[in-house]
Homo-oligomer: A and B are copies of this chain.
Amino acid sequence: MKVIKFGGSSLASAEQLTKVLNIVKNDPTRKFVVVSAPGKRNDTDTKVTDALIAYYKSYKNGDDVTENQSWIIARYQSICDELGIPGAVMANISADIKALASLPIQGNKFLYDTFLAAGENNNAKLIAEYFIENGINAKYIHPLDAGIIVTPEPGNARLLPSSNEKINYLNELEETLVIPGFFGVTEKGDICTFSRGGSDITGSIVAAGVHAELYENFTDVDGIFAAHPGIINNPASITELTYKEMRELAYAGFSVLHDEALLPAYRASVPLVIKNTNNPEHPGTRIVAKRSVTGSPVVGIAADGDFTSLNISKYLMNREIGFGRKVLHILEKLGIRFEHMPTGIDDMSVIMRNRYLTKQIERSVIQNLTESLQPDILHFEKNLSIIMIVGEDMNEHIGVTARAANALAKAGINIEMLSQGSSEVSVMFIVKSNQEKAAIKALYQAFFEA
């Protein structure tokens, strides 16, 4: 049995939903369908989720919410009309949307989550009805009934470990189940949403819970490219990736799937495939625990230009026990998470994301480190990009680092820092951000066009 998840752009219009219907009908093992809220139909359109945020704000401010409600209800209504879905489900959806405006505001920490979740929840009702009308033995199922019981952390819910057994029980039901993504229910019965990429998380949780043979994640792209198509013209698309490789690529800018969403499927060893609703014949990109060796040692090149390096030098630093640990401890106390720590003998660099830094925090870092460790040199180096070349077969290919470093040297790009760890799943280069694109081009050429 498969778990299949559709994103908002796949569910935005009657035209898209027709494709979804055919996809589900085409394979009777597609038994668990996880859906997002309706997305944009075109660039100027509003997502239902954004409309729900506006509705929430109006309600909380005590403003008139009639217009908010009408827009959202009309949005669902238009889909129903186009698809010819009978009125009963629309009455249910309409009542549900209106009922949000009678929820308690004071002391209700789940109010925002409950508003937002209504987008997915009502879309699941609509789609289940659409499936039934078109001959699929389908059934809408609320996360409460699906067993998706979560921690009471608004916007950051995590599945309770005990839930897996309940979710597994879904295997006993004979219908094709339509499950709203993005949220679960707390033990006290409150609606609580997942973090970013929430519907992907629901799909991953269900796939793990029912021990699916495959988790199909339908989006609006044919899969994952080996490099960013905005930088490389017609980049190669990746047929198969390991979870580890996906994780390394996702870290440095590949954003097809949010990597936390992968965790439940990864832990349960469920393979995942990213496919295109608009081109379902394309095999897409499979993400697996272990793939067969391919020709190239590098499967993808990712980059992210969001980094700062804190450079520290001190003569005989290497003799001071605990120096590195103390640096990390001071940063941690100031709320800074370090990403990498390349070291020389008497110098170290701590690489962090820009978002942890403000002028004030930078001053505190300098002050605290100066007082505690008396370094000779201590300064922030800004505007750095991390470029990762990723591939699990790298360790079987002597010379990958040489090939990459050569390509960068030939393109006149200085490697500010370089780290290749023991896993050999990736090599990380740090370059100045204004050389990021040139670096990606040089590396792509070296590994995919040579």
User: Which of A332, A345, A418 gathers the greatest number of chain B CB atoms within 10 Å?
Assistant: A345
Contact of A321 with B by CB under 8 A = yes
Interface string of A424-436 (1 = CB under 8 A from B): 0111100000000
Let me know if A422 and B309 touch, CB within 8 A. yes
Interface check A187, CB cutoff 8 A: no
Q: Does A341 contact B (CB under 8 A)?
A: yes
A260-B320 Cα distance, complex, nearest whole Å:
12
A243 partner, pick from B259, B315, B340, B405, beta carbons under 8 A: B315
Surface stretch bound by B, among A19-27, A99-107, A407-415: A407-415
> Once bound together, how far apart are the Cα atoms of A409 and B346, in whole Å?
28
Give residues 225-270 of A contacting B (CB, 8 Å): 243-244, 247-248, 251, 259-260, 263, 266-267
Let me know if A260 and B319 touch, CB within 8 A.
yes
**Among residues 365 to 422 in chain A, which have CB atoms less than 8 Å away from a CB atom of chain B?**
381, 388, 395, 398-399, 401-403, 405-406, 408-410, 412-422
Instruction: Decide: A421 and B342 in contact? CB cutoff 8 A.
Output: yes
Copies of this protein in the assembly total 2
Q: Chain B: which residue is nearest A251 at the CB level?
A: B345
Contact among B260, B329, B395, B406 for A402, CB-based, below 8 A: B406
With CB as the reference atom, state the residue of chain B lying closest to A267.
B315
Whether A421 contacts B426 by the Cβ 8 Å rule is no
Q: Does A313 contact B (CB under 8 A)?
A: yes
Chain B residues positioned under 8 Å from A410 (CB to CB): 399
A349 contacts which chain B residues (CB < 8 A)? 421-422
Residues of the B chain whose Cβ atoms lie less than 8 Å from the Cβ of A339: 318, 343
Q: Answer yes or no: A441 CB below 8 A from chain B CBs.
A: no
CB distance from A410 to the nearest CB of B (A): 8
A341 touches B341 (CB 8 A): yes
Q: Known contacts A260-B316, A328-B325, A402-B409: does B422 contact A342 (CB below 8 Å)?
A: yes
Interface string of A296-326 (1 = CB under 8 A from B): 0000000000000101010110110110110
Nearest-CB residue, chain B, relative to A263: B316
Most B-side CB within 10 Å, residue of A309, A341, A426: A341
A428 vs B343: C-alpha distance when bound (angstroms): 9
Chain B contacts of A398 at CB under 8 A? 409, 412-414
Q: What is A's interface to B at a CB cutoff of 8 Å? A: 243-244, 247-248, 251, 259-260, 263, 266-267, 309, 311, 313, 315-316, 318-319, 321-322, 324-325, 328-329, 332, 337-349, 381, 388, 395, 398-399, 401-403, 405-406, 408-410, 412-423, 425-428
Q: List 23 A-B contacts (CB under 8 A).
A: A243-B315, A244-B315, A244-B346, A247-B316, A260-B319, A263-B315, A322-B332, A325-B328, A325-B329, A339-B343, A342-B342, A342-B422, A344-B421, A344-B425, A346-B423, A347-B422, A398-B412, A399-B409, A401-B405, A405-B406, A415-B420, A417-B421, A419-B419
